[in-house]
Amino acid sequence: MAFLPNSLVTLALLSILACAAQGQLSASFYSTTCPNLQTVVRSAMAQAVAKEPRMAASILRLFFHDCFVNGCDGSILLDDTPTFTGEKSAGPNANSARGFDVIDTIKSQVEAACKATVSCADILALATRDGVNLLGGPTWTVQLGRRDARTASQSAANSNLPGPGSSLSTLISMFAAKGLSASDMTALSGAHTIGQAQCQFFRGRITGGDTNINATFAALRRQTCPMTGGNSNLAPIDVQSPIKFDNGYYQDLVGRRGLFHSDQELFNGGSQDSLVRLYSTNGAKFAADFAKAMIKLGNLSPLTGSNGEVRLNCRKVN
């Protein structure tokens, strides 16, 4: 190396770097092709969250449901057609996943600024980060360069996403299947510090199905979630502060006020109890661990390079 001209050394180093970066995401992916991207997304999310704070939660859940089903590839955004059944109509998403219109609005603003350049998968990753931060949560650097899927998988959506009746061991193994540890799972579950849930997903827990529940809390929830009817009646997942991204969720769990059976499984005498206790008293530790785990979630099997496409309309393939 010492005898090679500098330019050759640089070239060699660059090609090593390029190789290492193959299939990898990068924070500067659009810095020359769409320099205003992050400003456009941030201000659109600020508007959407000002109009309806819950939207930050709905977008965050979309990102989780996108990434857990064949990677963060925007597949959840594809509409069903007469000849195509995608993820929107899968069990965990049907009549539940929301926020698609906000992603459409952001996408059209991004298209106006930088035509056919930015993927729907990357827009969802940025909008998610901004929504969390706008409700008082942490911020983080979003890795970019994901491309959009040309397909979606209803069966993978049905089998890869955990349900609200899941046990701790099921939750741990479903996250392990995505390369995420039990502690990543516990940190990511803190997403339930914002947003709302339908009665049908927690009725069993508040009507006698669970013993590990705060009786006062159960009675409160039964007021709007009766034994029969009211399936889609909403309740905040964090009883304390559903539009503030804080550590209230973990305080709820310690007080036996988890809304879903699956939430309370994180604090039910098992391996995650100590971490739940730590997060319940140390909001800064939760915020830092959540941000790290969100970056890992965002790195799940992205399509990169010439795989997939940059969709022009997030609802349909080009």
Ligand X SMILES: *[C@@H]1O[C@H](CO)[C@@H](O)[C@H](O)[C@H]1NC(C)=O
- Residues in touch with ligand HEM (CB under 6 A): 54, 57-58, 60-61, 64, 96, 98, 162-164, 166, 171, 188-189, 191-192, 194-198, 201, 260, 262
Among 88, 256, 261, 311, contact with ligand X (rule: CB under 6 A): 256
Closest CB 272 distance from ligand X, rounded Å: 18
255 contacts which partner out of ligand HEM, ligand X, none, CB within 5 to 8 A by kind? ligand X
**Can residue 255 be called a binding residue for ligand X (CB under 6 A)?**
yes
CA–CA distance, 191 with 69 (Å, rounded to integer): 18
Nearer Cβ to ligand X (254/295): 254
Closest CB 255 distance from ligand X, rounded Å: 4
Closest CB 168 distance from ligand X, rounded Å: 19
216 contacts which partner out of ligand HEM, ligand X, none, CB within 5 to 8 A by kind? ligand X
Contact 262, 163 (CB under 8 A): yes
| Cα torsion angle, 27, 30, 34, 40, sign | negative
The two three-digit tokens of residue 91, written as one number: 């069990």
Among 214, 282, 299, 313, contact with ligand X (rule: CB under 6 A): 214
Nearer Cβ to ligand X (47/216): 216
Give residue number: closest CB to ligand X. Answer: 214
Angle between helices 54-67 and 100-113 (to 10 degrees): 80
Catalytic annotation, pick one of 54, 65, 192, 221: 65
119 contacts which partner out of ligand X, ligand HEM, none, CB within 5 to 8 A by kind? none
Which run of H or E residues covers position 27? none
Q: Is 65 a catalytic residue?
A: yes
58 contacts which partner out of ligand HEM, ligand X, none, CB within 5 to 8 A by kind? ligand HEM
Q: Which of 257, 298, 288 is nearest to 137 (CA)?
A: 288
Buried b (16+ CB within 10 A) or exposed e, 198-230: bbebbbebbeeebeebbeebbeebeeebeeeee
3-class secondary-structure state, position 103: helix
CA–CA distance, 224 with 198 (Å, rounded to integer): 10
Q: Fill in the amino acid letter for 150.
A: R
Among 31, 181, 216, 231, contact with ligand X (rule: CB under 6 A): 216
For the annotated catalytic residues, the residue numbers are 65
